[in-house]
Amino acid sequence: MRIRNLKNSDEIINNSIYIIKELNKNTFDNNNEIHIEIGMGKGKFILENAIKNPNINYIGIERFDTIMAKAIKNIEKYDLKNLKLIKCDALYLKDYIKTKINKIYLNFSDPWPKERHTKRRLTSDTFLNIYKDLFKTKQNIEIKTDNKSLFEFSIINLTNNNYKIKEIYLDLHNSNIKDIITTEYEEKFIKKQNPIYKMIVEKQ
Would you please indicate which residues are annotated as catalytic (active-site) residues? 110
| SS3 call for 171 | coil
Non-local (6+) Cβ contacts of 128 within 8 A are 157, 158, 161
C-beta separation of 112 from 118 below 8 A: yes
How far separated are the first and last CA of the chain, in Å rounded? 38
CA 8 to CA 13: how far, in whole Å?
A: 9
C-beta separation of 172 from 180 below 8 A: yes
CA 55 to CA 108: how far, in whole Å?
A: 25
C-beta separation of 101 from 28 below 8 A: no
CA 15 to CA 145: how far, in whole Å?
A: 32
CA 100 to CA 80: how far, in whole Å?
A: 21
C-beta separation of 146 from 108 below 8 A: yes
Q: Which helix (H) or strand (E) holds 9?
A: helix 9-14
